Structure 1
Amino acid sequence: MASQTLIPARHGIATHLKAGQTIKIINTHGTQVVDTFAFTLSPTNLTLIDTQLSMQHTRASLNKIIPQVGDGVYNNKREKLLTVMEDTSGGIHDTMIAACDQQRYEELGGGSEHRNCADNLVEGLVAIGITPPQFTPSPFNLFMNIPVHEDRTTISFEPPVSTKGSSISLKAEVDLVVAFSACPQDILKINCQNPTDAHFEIY
């Protein structure tokens, strides 16, 4: 059995993932959104990012707003980086919403010192010696529930449908760095206003 690695509540972590490996992201308490980023590295400098996981390219490639089991997720060169292998969480994730950042919490009244996913991405990458991107990519927001309403124009931020211990497994198609943020959002309902730890395991 693969050992589990902690994604601490409100913080970020990153890890290397080899082609052919699968990473299982576990919603340990059932209510935590995990912002997920993936990058390929420069072949001539393994501290520098070459490409990044791209939600806009993924949506266009799939003609879907939520990848499902068997679907790939793609980078900004339209190359498949990961494939969804298994999903026990109810299959509701988000590809539309930007990572929360300092300005988002100022907008919501949470103050400029509130922890955020944009800074958590930097935290995770720097810890393993990777130079962060100049701009924060839009993440694959695992377990995040952002329904599109019947008017086809409005959305809302809702609690996850995932349950305790549910998970999604992603297989690396190429060598990658994957970064996670256990989203610190405690103002809107997306984490049931109570950010918690999550975990991952690699096999």
Structure 2
Amino acid sequence: MQLNTLIERVEVPAREGRLVRLAAGRRVRVTTETGGQVGDLFAFTGDDLSEHLSAAHTRAHLDRLFPAVGEQFVTDRRRPILTLVEDTSPGRHDLLIPACDPARYRALGVTSPHASCAENLRHALAGLGRELPVVPQPVNVFMDIPVDPAGGLAWLPSPAPPGAAITFEAVRDSVVVVSACPQDLVGINARGPQPLVVEVVEGARA
């Protein structure tokens, strides 16, 4: 199998989000070039945004907290949307925590405007002329939130080293938004908010 050439490369500035379109069979690779940066990844089928990748349905589908390489994420209609095809990070990714939003930062004591993954998603989708009534729970790539035996959560710095990448293949035509998480009050971003790189490539062919 051989991967074909790069189709698109998008730099996602720290604290911002960017959108890419994936035809079925194409791949999206998210890289933390500096290391330690969490990315909130959202995916929708087509441009109408009526069906989205669902963390809850994926957990039920797989009987595990996060897919292994070769396994699929599913939508709120329980249809496959993305397949995890490669992961060069330590494999710590989260499917429990919702996207940060203005209310989250207010609860953390922020009184001035603060970027958030929820608002980054809305801004990225604005170019489609669509409004999003509810922000879906994202796939939090490179985010380490372990669960202890008593059910408690720990918010640990991302262990992803510089250059770590995770790659997904589209099962169906999709819109994908990646937010370089702006969280700077809880220490999930190991070096503070940093940029991410998103690349779209052709899928593998025999």
CA distance in 1, matches of 2:157, 2:145: 9
Q: Which residue of 1 aligns with 2:13?
A: 8
Deviation track 1:10-35 (CA, whole Å, cap 9, x = no partner) reads 00111110000011110111111000
Q: Which residue of 1 aligns with 2:199?
A: 201
What is the TM-score with the length of structure 1 in the denominator?
Answer: 0.93
Contact 1:24 1:201 in 2 (8 A): yes
Q: Which residue of 1 aligns with 2:102?
A: 102
CA distance in 1, matches of 2:49, 2:156: 33
Q: Percent identity?
A: 38
Runs of 4+ in 1 over 3 A off after TM superposition: none
Contact 1:102 1:112 in 2 (8 A): no
Distance apart, 1:49 and its partner CA: 1.4
For residue 177 of structure 1, the aligned residue among 175, 181, 185 is 175
Distance apart, 1:71 and its partner CA: 1.0
1:59 alignment partner, SS class: helix
The 5 Å alignment of 1:72-111 reads: 72-111=72-111
What number of residue pairs does the alignment pair up?
196
CA distance in 2, matches of 1:146, 1:193: 17
Contact 1:32 1:198 in 2 (8 A): yes
CA distance in 2, matches of 1:132, 1:95: 24
Unaligned runs of 5+ residues in structure 1 are none
CA distance in 2, matches of 1:68, 1:111: 40
What is the TM-score with the length of structure 2 in the denominator?
Answer: 0.92
Unaligned runs of 5+ residues in structure 2 are 202-206
For residue 26 of structure 1, the aligned residue among 31, 41, 48 is 31
CA distance in 2, matches of 1:31, 1:70: 24
- The yes-or-no answer on 1:36 pairing with 2:34 is no
Distance 1:34-1:134 versus aligned 2 partners, 3 A rule: same
Distance apart, 1:112 and its partner CA: 4.7
Q: Which residue of 1 aligns with 2:139?
A: 140
Contact 2:183 2:189 in 1 (8 A): yes
- The yes-or-no answer on 1:155 pairing with 2:153 is yes
Q: Which residue of 2 aligns with 1:188?
A: 186
Distance apart, 1:155 and its partner CA: 0.4
Counterpart amino acid of residue 79 in structure 2: E
Deviates more, 1:71-80 or 1:186-195: 186-195
Contact 1:55 1:139 in 2 (8 A): yes
Deviation track 1:110-135 (CA, whole Å, cap 9, x = no partner) reads 235111010000111113x2513201
CA distance in 1, matches of 2:89, 2:79: 26
The 5 Å alignment of 1:56-75 reads: 56-75=56-75
Deviation track 1:144-202 (CA, whole Å, cap 9, x = no partner) reads 10000122x10011101111001000000000000011000000110026100000111
